[in-house]
Amino acid sequence: MNPNPAAVRRGALRSYKAATGAVRGLAAAAVLAAVSANASAQDPLRGRDIYLNAAAIKGVPMRSCVQCHSLPPDTKLKGASVAQLFGAFASVDAMAGFVTAFNVVDVTDLSAFLADPAATPTPLPAIDPLVLRFAAPLAASSPAVVVSLRNDGAAPLRLAADPLGISGTDGGAFSVSASTCAPQAVLSPATSCQFELRYVPQQALASVAQLILRYDTIAQPTSIVLAGLPQPRARFTHSVAALAFAVRPIGTPAPVQSVRVLNAGTAPLAVAERRLDGTAAADFMVQGCAAGAVLAPGASCRLDVEFNPSAAGARSATLTLASPDAVEPMTVTLSGTGLAAVGTPPTTPVPPPSPTPPPAAPTTTAGGGGAMPPFGLLALLVAGALRWRNRSRLSIAG
């Protein structure tokens, strides 16, 4: 006996409805299992939008709630909980599309609207994350962390006259380096402003503080936890920042001057480069603290600098020590002055020595005294010579 075709179709339809009902029930049960028992209303205004135009919001062909339940919601839906809504999705054919189209947040917002259909628009500040972590070497700045403050509500959000403040014992280690969240600025719905935070550790211990955002349109401020951790890092320090040499003749080295270099950081410091820069760099010679030297925290080395000018006038250069381990390189300014050599004057002929004058004749006194004239003295000498010759002749003759 052939079965009645109409009866077959009716049976198949019943089986299909039962199967689809079971599928919807399983889907709703799975969603309900994912919903916390403590799920609470979130945004009734967004729930209102879903209630009025779910198809456009979700982009799927389905009827909106208002088409069947009017506005304000009728007694069938008014005050429906999240669990009740998921149960309706699973049991009512007209709401079957809601099972896969709506997520937990959607249904929570929809339930919030059904519980308070007269809800008015309010601003809703949103920041993510609410805990910011920083790391930087001691006494060095961390990279800037950009934070965005959004208005996720349906009404404008106006900031307070002092919108950003940092509090806490370690608050001095954190600072706002830039901000577009100006005092009493107004953020329209779905708009945002940004600010930058930096961390400069002042001690070798972790720092914790709070950033407070204040508003005029909302009494409750937003608090962000700031956590900073100092990193081990080497740091150059030096005994002097400049060496000045006295005036030196060209080609004559000046006495050596020294600079003590110290690793004042908390990690080993490997000197990667030692260099001289400047137009007169060749006039200076450096020894010590060479590339490859490693200074433990607290250890030091010595730079010996010599100045030997190659030209007259002011001479200068810059001495630099660099290391990837250090917060920043170390520089020392070098200066000195070269003096041009003085020329030798031309040779002047030396005149011959003058002849020695004869010794002065002795002087005698006569009569009333006084010196004898020169001719009188000569006459006496001649007379004496003649007398001596005559005596000699007489003694020979006798």
- Residue 358: the pLDDT is 58
Instruction: Indicate if the pLDDT at residue 12 is higher than 60.
Output: no
Least confident range from 1-10, 59-68, 123-132, 298-307: namely 1-10
Q: Average pLDDT, stretch 155-161?
A: 93
Give the best-scoring range by mean pLDDT among 67-81, 98-112, 176-190, 353-367. Answer: 176-190
User: Pairing mode, if any, of strands 192-199 and 145-151?
Assistant: antiparallel
Give the best-scoring range by mean pLDDT among 65-69, 158-162, 394-398. Answer: 158-162
- Residue 354: the pLDDT is 62
Percent pLDDT > 90 in the chain is 43
**Nearest Cα residue to 319 out of 201, 221, 236, 216:** 236
- Residue 26: the pLDDT is 41
What contacts 321, CB < 8 A, 6 or more positions away?
Answer: 236, 261, 271, 273, 274, 289, 303, 329, 330, 331
Q: Please, is 90 exposed, middle or buried when counting C-beta atoms within 10 Å of its C-beta (0-12, 13-18, 19+)? A: buried
Element at 67 (helix H, strand E): helix 65-69
Mean pLDDT of the chain: 80
The residue that leads in pLDDT, 361 or 157, is: 157
Instruction: Indicate if the pLDDT at residue 65 is higher than 50.
Output: yes
- Residue 242: the pLDDT is 95
Percent pLDDT > 70 in the chain is 75
Instruction: Indicate if the pLDDT at residue 180 is higher than 90.
Output: yes
Q: How far apart are CA 175 and CA 226, in angstroms?
A: 10
Could you say which DSSP state residue 326 is in? B
Instruction: Indicate if the pLDDT at residue 132 is higher than 90.
Output: yes
- Residue 1: the pLDDT is 46
Least confident range from 26-35, 147-156, 273-282: namely 26-35
Q: Average pLDDT, stretch 157-170?
A: 95
Instruction: Indicate if the pLDDT at residue 372 is higher than 80.
Output: no
Which residue type is seen at 288?
G
Residue where the block lists tokens 């349906």: 154
- Residue 106: the pLDDT is 85
Least confident range from 162-171, 225-234, 269-278, 301-310: namely 225-234
Instruction: Indicate if the pLDDT at residue 275 is higher than 60.
Output: yes
- Residue 41: the pLDDT is 45
Distance of CA 146 to the CA centre of its chain: 15
Strands (E), the chain: 125-126, 131-137, 145-151, 157-167, 174-179, 186-187, 192-199, 207-215, 222-231, 236-238, 242-249, 257-263, 269-270, 273-277, 284-287, 294-295, 300-307, 313-322, 330-339
User: In the structure, what pLDDT confidence band is assigned to residue 202 with cuts at 50, 70 and 90?
Assistant: confident
What contacts 225, CB < 8 A, 6 or more positions away?
Answer: 130, 131, 132, 208, 210
Q: Average pLDDT, stretch 124-129?
A: 86
User: In the structure, what pLDDT confidence band is assigned to residue 349 with cuts at 50, 70 and 90?
Assistant: low
Using one digit for the tens of pLDDT, what is the confidence trace for 298-343?
999 999 999 999 999 999 999 999 998 887 899 999 999 999 976 5
Instruction: Indicate if the pLDDT at residue 368 is higher than 50.
Output: no
